[in-house]
């Protein structure tokens, strides 16, 4: 089932957790839809990894994120949660970013309280803007959206910088500003989760982030649901899987001078075109051919 924005908002308040794999282009989003997911996470980190071949250190622009969002919306009807980093500047930049991404089809837009340029939430050396500045940016985002079914997610990276107690204080301020969901990044332990849920469970949806090799201990969706999380993202997992597979592919091709040894792990030409919907598109085009 495909969700619209209002459905996503309702789902986030339901008992069952929403699982959103990270995607970075229209093909990965369409594959997620084919696998049965109804919500995906457009990861800024994964865009940096795949489009730039660089780490998540604030190199991606709002225009690049917006272009990917537009391509995904053209290809699928999935609910898309978009990583908008810091909003790419001050409150005025936030307003422009929100308007762009909402027009492109974003269902939820995530904003964080790092300084700009930011860096991945699981890298060291993060710095934060003052709490009051972030509250202003979130209010700007809420004012800029055309529909209140476009969700605004307030993220704090304060756990790694100022500690869990201070992260909770910032999260309270962001909730009071009116955000639809909270994302406390870089949770380190079950004690952190217990402290966070004691403050927010049942009051506002809380988002979890599973990063293989990151700071937060990995848990499955069911365990996270039992702890009170409403949404879990796996933002860079696909890129890590793809990079591992691609390295093996290139090594095989370099060694053998042929792809024969890799064929069982590949789609052939016809299978790929089936995934892409080539036949249906060609048939559609024939309807408009000159007679």
The better pLDDT of the pair 1, 119 is held by 119
Tell me the CA distances in angstroms from 96 to 99, 142, 143, 218, 233, one per residue in order: 5, 12, 11, 35, 25
**What is the overall mean pLDDT for the chain?**
94
Q: Strand, coil or helix: what is 16?
A: coil
Residue 1 — very low, low, confident or very high, per pLDDT cuts 50/70/90? very low
pLDDT in tens, 44-67: 999 999 999 999 899 999 999 999
**What stretch of H or E contains 268?**
none
Selection from 185, 180, 182 nearest residue 158 by Cα: 185
pTM above 0.85, yes or no: yes
- C-alpha span between 144 and 18 (Å, rounded): 26
Q: Encode pLDDT of 66-116 as tens digits.
A: 999 999 999 999 999 999 999 999 999 999 999 999 999 999 999 999 998
Q: What is the pLDDT of residue 2?
A: 44
Q: What pLDDT is attached to residue 4?
A: 54
Average pLDDT over residues 193-210: 96
């Amino acid at each position: 089932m495909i969700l619209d924005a209002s459905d996503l908002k309702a789902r986030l308040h339901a008992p069952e957790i929403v699982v959103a794999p990270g995607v970075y282009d229209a093909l990965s989003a369409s594959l997620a839809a084919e696998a049965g997911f109804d919500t995906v996470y457009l990861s800024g980190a994964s865009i940096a990894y795949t489009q730039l071949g660089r780490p998540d250190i604030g190199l991606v622009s709002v225009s690049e994120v917006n272009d990917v969002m537009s391509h995904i919306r053209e290809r699928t009807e999935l609910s898309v949660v978009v990583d908008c980093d810091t909003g790419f500047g001050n409150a005025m930049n936030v307003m422009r970013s929100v308007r762009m991404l909402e027009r492109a089809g974003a269902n939820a837009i995530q904003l964080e309280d790092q300084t700009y340029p930011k860096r991945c939430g699981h890298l060291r050396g993060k710095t934060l803007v003052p709490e009051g500045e972030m509250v202003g940016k979130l209010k700007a985002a809420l004012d800029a959206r055309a529909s209140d079914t476009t969700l605004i997610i307030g993220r704090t990276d304060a756990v790694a910088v100022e500690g869990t107690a201070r992260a909770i204080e910032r999260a309270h301020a962001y909730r009071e500003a009116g955000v639809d969901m909270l994302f406390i990044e870089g949770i380190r332990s079950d004690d952190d989760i217990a402290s966070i849920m004691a403050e927010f469970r049942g009051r506002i949806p809380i988002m979890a982030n599973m990063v293989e090799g990151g700071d937060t201990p990995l848990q499955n969706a069911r365990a996270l649901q039992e702890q009170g999380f409403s949404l879990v993202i796996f933002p860079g997992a696909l890129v890590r899987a793809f990079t591992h597979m691609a390295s093996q592919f290139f090594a095989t091709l370099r060694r053998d001078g042929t792809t024969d040894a890799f064929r069982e792990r590949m789609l052939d030409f016809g299978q790929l075109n089936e995934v892409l919907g080539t036949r249906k598109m060609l048939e559609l085009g024939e309807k408009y051919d000159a007679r």
